[in-house]
Amino acid sequence: MIRTMPVIPEVETCIHCGLCLNQCPTYRLTHLETASPRGRIYLIEAASHGRLDVTSGVADHLYLCLACRACETACPSGVQYGRVAEAARDVLGPPGRPFQRAMVRFALRHLMPHPGRLRSVAAVIRFYQRSGLAALALRLLPRRLRRPAALLPEASTRFYTPEAEVLPAIGEPRARVAFLTGCAMSLFFAEINEATLRLLRRNGCEVVLPQNQACCGALNIHNGEVASARAMARRNVDAFPVDVDAILTNAAGCGAAMKEYGHLLGDDPDYRERAERFSTLVRDTGEFLAALGLRNSPKATDRVVTYQDPCHLAHGQGVRAQPRALLAALPGTTLREMVASDRCCGSAGIYNFLQPETSDALLAEKMEAIRATGASVVVAPNPGCMMQLRYGVRRFGVPVRVAHLMDLLDEAGA
Amino acid sequence: MTLAPLIRRLQAIVGNAYALHRPEDLIVYEQDALMVSRHKPDLVVLPDTTQQVSEVVRAVRELGLPIVPRGAGTGLAGGAIPERGGVVVALTRMTRVHDIDPISKTAVVEAGLVNADLTAMLEPYGLFFAPDPGSQVAATIGGNVANNAGGPHCLAYGVTSNHVLGLEVVLADGTVTWVGSRALDEPGYDLTGILVGSEGTFGIVTKAIVRLLARREAVRTLLAIYDTMDAACEAASAVIASGIVPEALEIIDGMSMRAVNKTLQAGFPEDAEAALLIEVEGLAESVPVLIERIEAICHRQGARRIQTAATAQDRMGLWKGRKHAYGALGKLARRAIMLDVCAPRSHLARIMRQITEAGTRLNIQVANFFHAGDGNLHPNLLFEFDDNSPEYARVVATTEDIMWACIAVGGTITGEHGLGMEKREYLGWMNSDADIAAMKRVRDAFDPDGAMNPDKVFPTGRPVHGTIPSVRAAGGADR
Ligand SMILES: Cc1cc2nc3c(=O)[nH]c(=O)nc-3n(C[C@H](O)[C@H](O)[C@H](O)COP(=O)(O)OP(=O)(O)OC[C@H]3O[C@@H](n4cnc5c(N)ncnc54)[C@H](O)[C@@H]3O)c2cc1C
Ligand code: SF4
Ligand code: SF4
């Protein structure tokens, strides 16, 4: 595979200072320059100036990256590495060995953009899990395939489908919002979507659930399928109303991706402006609720919780204080910070399936950090993080509940 | 020469993943933070133990290849660039802390440990490692030792050489040896002192015994804002002249503050031309008294406003802003070079005027933030062209004018970044031929073949940069 790398202008803002190195999870594990943000930027730069062939080795280095964007937080020069990685991966195509690539590409092109097909997949997964086949598979599958099978969280009893297109506010209306139901959230965490909507409505939000919405396209963008991601973004721009106070999502990855629609569709004259508009309205539910203020006083529960910053919330959207402020509003709940709460847990979209060794090393570190807090709940408001942490809790036997922020707020009657 | 047998041997020593030889693995090691020079190594090795370092050195030296030690590659003088090719030995995997002794306030750490990671580990003991270069979040202890790194707080605490008691070193023939010890004063030669600042030309540092300091009871930080660089410099000189030695006394100019504000909420003013960042530490009773005296001096020197950091977070914000200043320049220009020169503290205002004049004359934008307290200046040259364009001659000329101006008032051509490749041709500006010959004899005693980091530190007689001749080549030292 030898391709040419176009010049990616963002690369020029890197001044090679190296301040990002030690903040990058893959550099911390390997201590190799090629596994660092600066090294990856250098590879891209060298390739686009013809000083380096784009071999499969280069692709491997660029796909060992978690796309966690911790380097953006660290970078004094404001290099938006997320955009650099997306542009480079679009040239490289999806990651993995040929068979994996084909599978990933198939899923990204033919499943993710189609809610109907996703729903069918959900039915298959559910049948597989409930029928006992899953348990069997875990025993019979070759070792190499056992891990992905174990990673798969239990699918919700049903795929989340909204009961109506508009759900009225409960009590005095305070805001009108639109809500992205999301693919992973609908498939694996339908109850959390329900909790989120209850919570929003109790806090005076009228919620619009556009029928025609699609998955946000984040996985496609991160895995070298930008064209299909653009199609999904266009569909959402068409589907969502903009006469709302905010477009909400309870998945950090989706929020980060949708806040970038303006950039993603920046070259599309028909969509550019509407996409910009769309992006400025996007909020994480935690971010939004913290600004709106909780209306009801929550019930008290005595417990210690710890908070895992989802990468795409903390590094991608700069949302750190708001979820913590909401936790602080829960009486009896003590927040005990873990070491490096904003370091990636190794989930990173489909990374945990494709790079099991790196993913496991990060997960092991994360589990230790969680265990050390003595918390009984770890809050991680993003489906990818929740799946990974639930897998980690089972595998490392850490006695904590993995919850979404919306879960705790809804349970407390906030 | 085919490298295949060497590669196999190195792989056997450090493991396949850490003996790098493919183009895409090597190319990222052709540069450090000096943006204007690059040379690809023949091989890169990342050993995990001192024993491995020693075996690697033996294997490489048997083939006669040069060796370039490397830490995090944050050096600004090109010290880790393998100009002659050869084998880069990167210490970044060696990050262990062998011993922290809170009683004797020492620690034994491996060379690849990141400076800020050490300080984070010391937090529970109430101790810290004083050298705090702007790059401390990434730079290694080995790199700090090799370049004798300084930092804002070195005004009161001293530079790296004041905080290293002993070193484990692998010499050019693979011998492993210790110099110094936990004791503050050793009988015999102070070889630790010689090794600190030797820029990787004497051997590879594998471990260091570092001295730790106890955190002070109280700390206060203030930012005094001025309308001109002149006034800020006069104020800094006045603080020093009053006999107060703050823990840190920095100046940052308006251009840099505005650049930092673009990426970070550091709390810098948008409309000032310069600001003094001053920190004092000490006993809870004495700190407020000191800070009051400093504020009075700053006011007398025409400060437009003085803001004190009210919370620990404000204080961290100001320091983060200061430490991000170089990086933030990436927002202003495609290329930036951070110079590192010194001038006597009584001449700050004058030398800063000369720096501005040099930039104007040669049409190079200059941003400044520096350790005013010890007269260690960092003019940052900003430009848009590549280093291989003819325009680069203006960068060389500006650099030389600034260095010359510093020498003329009794300053030096480097404060803390080392000579590396960037400054080596200028060593003769400050030192006589006899001085240089004496230094070379010391180097030869450690490394008779010149195998360790060759062509660094000492003049090579080649043009300073590519084909661009030195403007003042004839200058030389006339002491
Ligand atoms: C943003 C920024 C801010 C900076 N601020 C400061 C500052 O305030 N003060 C300051 O002093 N410097 C500063 N620097 C310069 C630089 O960070 C320091 O010189 C630092 O000590 C280099 O450490 P490193 O691990 O990156 O070493 P490298 O850059 O990898 O190497 C530097 C030199 O040390 C040698 N070396 C490295 N490790 C070893 C070893 N184990 N044994 C023998 N030789 C070795 C190399 O051969 C090279 O000559 C700054 C740099 C940047 C990019
Ligand atoms: S996105 Fe994360 S893994 Fe990738 S280079 Fe940046 S910090 Fe490293
Ligand atoms: S911190 Fe930013 S500018 Fe510095 S090397 Fe990393 S990406 Fe480049």
As a 3-state breakdown, chain A gives helix, strand, coil percent values, each rounded to 5, of 55, 10, 35
Helix axes B348-362, B392-408, angle to 10 degrees: 160
Q: Which of A17, A30, A53 sits opposite B74 (nearest CB)?
A: A17
Distance between Cα A224 and ligand 2 center (Å): 16
Cβ contact A77–B263 (<8 Å): yes
Q: Which atom of ligand 3 is nearest to the CA of A17?
A: 4
pLDDT score at A137: 64
* Shortest alpha-carbon distance between residue A23 and chain B (Å): 8
Ligand showing the shortest atom-to-Cα distance for residue A42: 3
Whole-number Cα distances in Å, A1 to A56, A58, A98: 6, 10, 11
Determine the Cα angle at B374 with ends B326 and B251, to 5°: 45
Q: Which residues of A touch B334 (CB under 8 A)?
A: 12
Residue A94 has what pLDDT? 78
User: Predicted confidence band at A224 (pLDDT cuts at 50, 70, 90)?
Assistant: confident
Residue B207 near residue B110 (C-beta atoms within 8 A): yes
B450 alpha carbon – ligand 2 mean position (Å): 38
Most B-contacting residue of A14, A26, A33 (CB-CB within 10 A), to test interface: A33
CA distance B94 to chain A (A): 9
Helix axes A321-328, A285-292, angle to 10 degrees: 60
What are the residue ranges of helices labelled H in A107-243?
115-130, 133-140, 143-151, 183-188, 190-202, 218-222, 226-239
The sign of the torsion formed by the CA atoms of B95, B96, B99, B101 equals positive
Tokens representing B1? 């020469």
User: Rounded to whole angstroms, how far apart are CA atoms A214 and A233?
Assistant: 8
Could you say which of B323, B347, B375 is where a domain stops? B323
Query: Residue whose CA is closest, atom 6 of ligand 3?
Result: A20
Cβ neighbors of B223 (< 8 A, separation 6 or more) are B267, B268, B275, B276, B277, B278, B306, B307, B308, B309, B318
3-state secondary structure of B354: helix
What is residue B331's predicted lDDT score, i.e. its pLDDT? 85
Q: Is A91 left (phi over 0), alpha (psi -120 to 50) or beta?
A: alpha
Question: How many angstroms separate the CA atoms of B334 and B378, rounded?
Answer: 18
Q: Which ligand is nearest to the CA of A351?
A: 2
Determine how many CB atoms are found less than 10 A away from the CB of residue B291.
Answer: 22
Kindly identify which residue of chain A lies nearest to residue B75, measuring between CA atoms.
A17
- Domain around B210: 97-214
| Average pLDDT along chain B | 93
Q: Which chain A residue has the Cα nearest residue B331?
A: A77
pLDDT at residue A356 greater than cutoff 90:
no
How many domains are there within chain B?
4
B141 CB near ligand 1 (under 6 Å): no
Residue B202: DSSP 8-state: S
Instruction: Give the bridge partners for B307, in sequence order.
Output: B223
Ligand 1, residue B69: give the atom nearest the CA: 47
Give ligand 2 pocket residues (Cβ under 6 A): A 24-26, 37, 40, 65-71, 81
Q: Which two tokens stand for residue A327?
A: 């936790």
- Among partner residues B28, B324, B330, which is closest to A34 by beta-carbon distance? B28
Q: In 3-state terms, what secondary structure has residue A116?
A: helix
Name which of B72, B95, B264 is nearest A18 (Cβ-Cβ). Answer: B72
Measured between beta carbons, the chain A residues lying within 8 angstroms of B260 are: 76
In a domain, B460, yes or no: yes
Average pLDDT of chain A is 89
Q: How confident is the model at residue B268 (pLDDT cuts 50, 70, 90)?
A: very high
Which residue, of B90, B122, B138, is where some domain finishes?
B90
Pocket test for ligand 1, best of B67, B74, B93, B455 (most atoms within 8 A of CB): B74
Would you state the pLDDT for residue B473? 53
* Residues B214-248 pLDDT 10s: 999 899 999 999 999 999 999 999 999 999 999 99
Residues B59 and B195 grouped into a single domain: no
Contact residues for B139 (Cβ-Cβ < 8 A; gap 6+): A18, B71, B72, B74, B114, B115, B133, B149
Which pLDDT belongs to residue B475? Answer: 46
C-beta B136 within 6 A of ligand 1:
no
Residue B246 contacts by C-beta under 8 Å, 6 or more apart in sequence? B155, B156, B239, B278, B279, B280, B290, B294, B373
Indicate the residue among B195, B214, B233 that finishes a domain. Answer: B214
Mean pLDDT of the B326-335 span: 89
Same domain, B318 and B385: no
Give the model's confidence band at A141: pLDDT under 50 very low, under 70 low, under 90 confident, else very high: low
How far, in Å, are A229, A370, A409 from residue A239 at the CA level? 15, 40, 29
Mean pLDDT of B49-67: 97
Q: Name every protein residue with a CB atom under 6 angstroms from any ligand 3 atom.
A: A 14-20, 37-38, 41, 71, 74-75, 77, 79; B 327, 330
Verify whether the Cβ–Cβ distance B112 to A31 is below 8 Å: yes
- Is 60 exceeded by the pLDDT of residue A2? no
Q: How far apart are CA B77 and CA B369, in angstroms?
A: 18
Query: What does the pLDDT look like over A27-75, one tens digit per residue?
Result: 999 999 999 999 999 999 999 999 999 988 999 999 999 999 999 999 9
Q: Is residue B328 part of a domain?
A: no
CATH architecture of A166-290: Up-down Bundle (1.20)
Do residues B458 and B373 both lie within one domain?
Answer: yes
> Are the CB atoms for A236 and A262 separated by under 8 Å?
no
Residue B479 has a pLDDT of 33
Phi-psi region of A87 (alpha: psi -120 to 50; beta: other; left: phi over 0): alpha
End-to-end distance of chain B based on CA atoms, in angstroms? Answer: 46
CATH of the domain spanning A296-411: 3.40.50.10700
The helix (H) or strand (E) run that includes residue B50 is helix B50-62
B41 and B20, same structural domain?
yes
Cβ atoms B349, B233 nearer than 8 A: yes
DSSP annotation string for B133-199: -TTTTT-BHHHHHHHT---TTHHHH--GGGGEEEEEEE-TTS-EEEEE-SSSS-SS--HHHHHTT-T
Q: Say yes or no: B361 and B387 in one domain.
A: yes
Residue A138, classed as helix, strand or coil, is helix
Site to substitute for ligand 1 among B135, B331, B457, most atoms within 8 A of C-beta: B135
Question: What's the token pair of residue B21?
Answer: 């030889």
Option in A19, A43, A76 nearest B24 (CB): A43
Q: How far is the CA of A67 from the centre of ligand 3 (A)?
A: 15
Whichever domain contains B377, its CATH number is 3.30.70.2740
Q: Could you tell me the pLDDT band of residue A135, with boundaries at 50, 70 and 90?
A: low
Q: What is the domain partition of chain A in residue ranges?
A: 9-92, 98-151, 166-290, 296-411
Residue with tokens 């000032």: B272
C-beta atoms of B95 and A34 within 8 A: no
Helices (H) and strands (E) counted in chain A, each on its own, are 23, 9
Q: Are residues B105 and B209 both part of a single domain?
A: yes
Q: What is the pLDDT of residue B36?
A: 85
B348 in a domain, yes or no? yes
Calculate how far, in angstroms, residue B74's C-alpha sits from the geometric centre of ligand 1: 5
Q: Which residues contact B257 (CB under 8 A, 6 or more apart)?
A: B266, B268, B269, B270, B272, B275, B321
CA distance A181 to A209: 8
Nearest CA to ligand 1 atom 52: B135
What are residue B166's DSSP bridge partners?
B180, B209
CA torsion A87-A89-A93-A97 (nearest 10°) is: 180
Which whole number is the average pLDDT over B26-31? 97
The CATH class, in words, for A9-92 is: mainly alpha
